[in-house]
Chains A and B, each alone.
Chain A
Amino acid sequence: MSTNPQPDQPLDQYRRGFLKKLGLVGGAAAATTLPAVGHPAWGGSTLGDAVGDFFQSHYKRMDPEEIEAALGRIERRAKKRLGVEIQVANTPPIPGVVFGYAINISKCQGYRRCVTACVEENNQGRDSQVQYIRVLQMDKGGMNLETSEHYYAPETVPVDGKFYLPVQCQQCDDPPCVKACPVQATWMEPDGIVVIDYNWCIGCRYCMAACPYWARHFNWSEPQIPAEALNPVTHYLGNRPRPRGVVEKCTFCIQRTRLGRQPACQEACPTGARVFGNLLDPDSEIRYVLENKTVFRLKEDLGTEPKFWYYTDV
């Protein structure tokens, strides 16, 4: 986060500085593999793995053995590039579960703890602008996104006269991004999570144009993560290391939630503003919120049917 480019710093210089920093903080593990952090031949994998990656089929068409091989390639690549042992899971959806999320905007204070936790959990490139959650500082007395402040940085929050609106992927039930994709690299899983096969995406970014919530982000360069900051518990459709040139997005922390855990943003929220759960379970917290509080959804008029709600205390 401290590596924001300076206005007068040329790109190459910035890049070198960042790599140097990576080498310093990466310690011994990274130092041996440092050449691979930049622009390694075959993207840091062996020729065999590169060929395997190239010919890898669509996620939904692969048989268990092919998936196993694909997971192995990702694990080997992380080991080679960063010297970190990661586990890439392929946990299936839980039957009878459709995930939903609600945020209490009376409670959200704009601390951005969710954003930080999300970056750490989901292995987002530390040098890129990829952050799945944007917390908007809004003017009280209105709901105009166009007057929101994205880069607020006061001494303390909340600021008088403002309220805070965190926005991330709304996991639409009729997702325009899925319709847009020319190669079906993105789809909605049975548990309602819209996922991307990062090995199938061609990087055309039409989904980014189609998303009304600005929830999709592109890897303009190879994502750089210091070795010791890499979260080794990953999922193929979730937080496993992503390649350059593909679009990525929030997956409701698929690597956690499919194991029954809370998403990282819910866990990090110091105000308890975030409520996550199974929409099909009438006893779940999320259902209580939907049935008993006055809720709204962002840009509901676009017909995207988000599975993401906002509510207030009263």
Chain B
Amino acid sequence: MPGSNTRSGVTRWPWALILLLIGALPASFAQAPEAAPPAGPGFSVLTRQDNLVYYPCMHCHQALKTNASPRPLYAPHLREQPHGGGTFWCLTCHAAEDRNQLSLLTGDQVGFDDAYKVCAQCHAPRARDWRHGGHGKRVGNWQGERTILGCPQCHNPHDPVLVPSPPDPAPPVRIGFPPPSERTVKHHTVWDTLQHDQNGKDAP
């Protein structure tokens, strides 16, 4: 765990500002007026900008002209961009003028390490949990300086759903015992059982 590799200097005010801004966004949002949460504990986000393979982006992009029209992209960029179900385009989050930065809805620019500010614009309740420790992960210690993982450290920003992966081995049995047998009675979800019963009744 790179617990020592932290970046301090994320102060509280930008966060409060964002919340205020979100609160002040369109009127349709206003009917669920979440009161500004308590200040909560301070934190710093584990840096990742230095680990990005192609960073700084402007290495290439300063020589390329900005093409704002949505189109399939080629390597090293992702062809597909599942996040947002087709409603997003690169420049929704990436700053058009300075590709080393991300952009907020307000037009302000933030660094890759502050990506959570971009995410929080839509995922406000999740961001609130994350800010206070109900979502995400604190690294290293439970007391003292609080370093937490930023959103892209777990979620691919372009395809945020976690991919299934193999589990670690099943529990062992006591030495000298045969391996546990599969449950002979297969249990099903409530709706599977109901469906089965329905089918049973319908059958002639």
Contacts and interface: CB of A to CB of B under 8 A. Distances in A.
Interface in A122-173: 127-129, 131, 134, 139-142, 147, 149-158, 161
Contact of B166 (A3, A140, A156, A270): A156
A94 to B, nearest CB: 8
A139 B184 CA distance: 16
Contacts of B28: none
B191 A14 contact: no
Contacts of A283: 40-41
A15 B192 CA distance: 44
A5 B167 contact: no
Contacts of B188: 139, 161
Nearest to A106: B135
B180 interface: yes
Contact of B167 (A110, A142, A150, A276): A110
A116 B158 CA distance: 30
Interface stretch (A76-84, A195-203, A287-295): A287-295
B36 interface: no
B168 A113 contact: yes
B133 A151 contact: no
Contact of B133 (A142, A155, A285): A285
Given A1-B169, A113-B168, A288 B176 contact: no
Contacts of B172: 1, 3-4, 127-129, 131
Contacts of A216: none
Contacts of A147: 187
Interface residues of A, number: 68
Interface stretch (B57-65, B72-80, B113-121, B139-147): B139-147
Contact of B142 (A3, A112, A277): A277
Nearest to B132: A288
A258 to B, nearest CB: 11
B138 interface: yes
| Residue among A3, A97, A141, A277 facing the most chain B CB atoms (10 A cut-off) | A141
A277 to B, nearest CB: 5
B132 A292 contact: yes
Given A5-B175, A5-B176, A292-B134, A161 B168 contact: no
B9 interface: no
Interface of A: 1, 3-7, 11, 14-15, 18, 97, 104, 107, 109-113, 115-116, 127-129, 131, 134, 139-142, 147, 149-158, 161, 220-221, 257, 260-262, 266-267, 269-272, 275-278, 281, 283-286, 288-289, 292-293, 311, 313
Interface of B: 1, 40-41, 126, 129, 132-144, 149, 154, 162, 164-180, 182-183, 187-192
Which are the 6 A-B pairs with shortest beta-carbon distances?
A: A285-B133, A272-B137, A156-B164, A112-B168, A147-B187, A7-B178
